[in-house]
């Protein structure tokens, strides 16, 4: 049995005549890996050609959608490009103070060493709430992330983290980026959020959360020599099946035990239970 056969059998969450959806394990790239194997190469070496409709980071687990035939690939990629695909991720932070509902509307740019960052200074990020109006995001913390969560109380809803247009860097190419958040559970040390990246830029959720003061635990972009996996998981994906009358399809990858390993048994049970019955809010 090849490595691809094992992954295909153990991580398949949906398959029909047109698509294959896998729950990608952490540490495996979708495609284009230079010095290691990736799913597309594994499949090809095993005699199966697959066409990825999108990508998720190597450090991220969860749903990845492949077209099994090239004639279905174009329609799927257009759906991602037109942002008609609904994507919901789960992120675990070792922080408190994330609002019950929030939106991060911060443009991205590419800085030194090809690192994705916000296209503005941290000090220029502001928070806005429906009941409290604008508030200063506050200074950066020791890790370089904004401590915006110290502004109005976390139950003030909805929150918006943004930056004035006049403060956006004029000398670099910028990419408008929006992420909606819903807090699912908060424990004594951790918070679990559902994140919906509207624009779907590279590293968007990871950078957005870090720059508003809530980096994802284990993220090597913002944590030196992490000792755990990155706790970001592609949970749900909804798309239109053009080959099946255009019906809306939803595929879901239930987080495995490794996603909860930072939590003790009781917290893990409560956090897991918070996923039951969750439906994306209207802002999603």
Give the chain's domains with CATH numbers.
3-82+237-253 (3.30.2350.10), 92-211 (no CATH)
As beta bridge partners, residue 134 has 128
User: What is the C-alpha separation between 34 and 143, in angstroms, rounded?
Assistant: 30
Residue 26: C-alpha distances to residues 30, 43, 88, 99, 231 (Å):
11, 17, 17, 28, 10
Burial 97-123 (b: 16+ CB within 10 A, else e): bbbbbbbbbbbbbbeeeeebbbbbebe
User: What is the C-alpha separation between 114 and 50, in angstroms, rounded?
Assistant: 28
pTM across the whole model: 0.90
pLDDT at 61 exceeding the cut of 90: yes
pLDDT at 74 exceeding the cut of 90: yes
pLDDT at 148: 41
How many percent of the chain have pLDDT more than 90?
82
The mean pLDDT of 24-44, rounded to a whole number, is: 89
Q: What confidence category does residue 277 fall into, taking pLDDT thresholds of 50, 70 and 90?
A: confident
Contact between 204 and 196 (Cβ < 8 Å) = no
Mean pLDDT of the chain: 90
pLDDT at 261 exceeding the cut of 60: yes
Cα diameter, the chain: 59
User: What is the C-alpha separation between 262 and 273, in angstroms, rounded?
Assistant: 16
pLDDT at 212 exceeding the cut of 80: yes
User: What is the C-alpha separation between 53 and 84, in angstroms, rounded?
Assistant: 13
The mean pLDDT of 232-261, rounded to a whole number, is: 96
The β-bridge relationship of strands 191-197 and 86-93 is: antiparallel
The mean pLDDT of 238-257, rounded to a whole number, is: 96
As beta bridge partners, residue 36 has none
For 43-122, list the strands marked E by DSSP: 51-52, 61-67, 86-93, 101-105, 108-110, 116-118
pLDDT at 2: 84
Tens digit of each residue's pLDDT (9 = 90 or more) over 158-187:
789 999 999 999 999 999 999 999 999 999
């Amino acid at each position: 049995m090849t490595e691809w056969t094992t992954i295909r059998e153990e991580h398949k969450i949906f398959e029909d005549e047109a698509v294959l959806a896998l729950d990608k394990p952490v540490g495996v790239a979708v495609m284009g890996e230079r010095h290691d194997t990736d799913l597309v190469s594994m499949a090809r070496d095993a005699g199966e050609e697959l066409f990825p409709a999108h990508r998720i980071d190597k450090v991220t687990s969860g749903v990845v959608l492949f077209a099994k035939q090239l004639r279905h690939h174009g329609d799927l990629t257009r759906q991602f490009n037109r942002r008609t695909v609904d994507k919901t991720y789960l992120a675990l932070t070792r922080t408190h103070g994330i609002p019950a509902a929030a939106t991060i509307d911060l443009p991205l740019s590419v800085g030194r060493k090809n690192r994705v960052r916000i296209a503005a200074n941290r000090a220029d990020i502001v928070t806005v709430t429906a009941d409290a109006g604008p508030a200063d995001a506050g200074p950066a913390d020791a890790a370089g992330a904004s401590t915006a969560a110290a502004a109005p109380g976390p139950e003030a809803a909805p929150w918006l983290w943004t930056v004035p247009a006049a403060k956006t860097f004029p000398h670099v190419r910028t990419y408008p980026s929006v992420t909606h958040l819903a807090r699912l559970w908060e424990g004594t040390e951790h918070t679990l959020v559902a994140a919906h990246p509207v624009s779907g830029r590279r590293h968007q959720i990871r950078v957005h959360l870090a720059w508003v003061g809530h980096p994802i635990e284990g993220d090597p972009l913002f944590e030196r020599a992490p000792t755990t996996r990155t706790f970001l998981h592609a949970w749900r994906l909804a798309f239109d099946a053009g080959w099946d009358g255009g019906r809306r399809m939803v595929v879901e990858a239930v987080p495995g035990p490794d996603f909860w390993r930072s939590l003790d048994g009781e917290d893990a049970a409560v956090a897991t239970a918070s996923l039951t019955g969750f439906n994306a809010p209207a802002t999603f």
